């Protein structure tokens, strides 16, 4: 998957701990996204950022915060992790919503909360 890098790839947290998932893209994209993927649920949008300096809630924002640090980076923070946040998290980035532009995904971050 071209140009979207997520860290860490795997993480185990205890309930109540905090952590930040990092995402960076090198394609000069305006839009960035965070999703979670659970068995049978597909990809559910947590937050997205249509441009540097803006963020908007998706379907499942509760328990998460985001920061669009600059045009390249979009981080996802869990302030007090809960077992229900055990999931695979994907970051994506894309050019403006017009013909010729597409959206690319990172390889995912596997998070387990015990």
Partner 1 sequence: EDQVTQSPEALRLQEGESSSLNCSYTVSGLRGLFWYRQDPGKGPEFLFTLYSAGEEKEKERLKATLTKKESFLHITAPKPEDSATYLCAVRERNEKLTFGTGTRLTIIP
Residues lying near partner 1 in the complex (CB under 8 A) are found at 1, 4, 30-31, 33, 35, 40-45, 48, 50, 56, 58-59, 90, 92, 94, 96-99, 101-108
Q: How far is the CB of 16 from partner 1 (least distance, A)?
A: 28
Q: How far is the CB of 95 from partner 1 (least distance, A)?
A: 10
Check: CB of residue 31 under 8 Å from CB of residue 51.
yes
| CA 60/CA 14 separation, integer angstroms | 21
Q: How far is the CB of 106 from partner 1 (least distance, A)?
A: 6
85: exposed, middle or buried (C-beta count within 10 Å: 0-12, 13-18, 19+)?
Answer: buried
Task: State which residue, 77 or 96, has the beta carbon closest to partner 1.
Answer: 96
């Amino acid at each position: 998957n071209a140009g979207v890098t997520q860290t860490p790839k795997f993480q185990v947290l205890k309930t109540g701990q905090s952590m930040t998932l990092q995402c960076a893209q090198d394609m000069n994209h305006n839009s960035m996204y965070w999703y979670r993927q659970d068995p049978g649920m597909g990809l559910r949008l947590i937050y997205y950022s249509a441009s540097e300096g803006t963020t908007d809630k998706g379907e499942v924002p509760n328990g998460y915060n985001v920061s669009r640090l600059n045009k390249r980076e979009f981080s996802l923070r869990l302030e007090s992790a809960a077992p229900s946040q055990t999931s695979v998290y994907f970051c994506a980035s894309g050019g403006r919503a017009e013909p010729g532009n597409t959206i690319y995904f990172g390889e995912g971050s596997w998070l387990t909360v015990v």
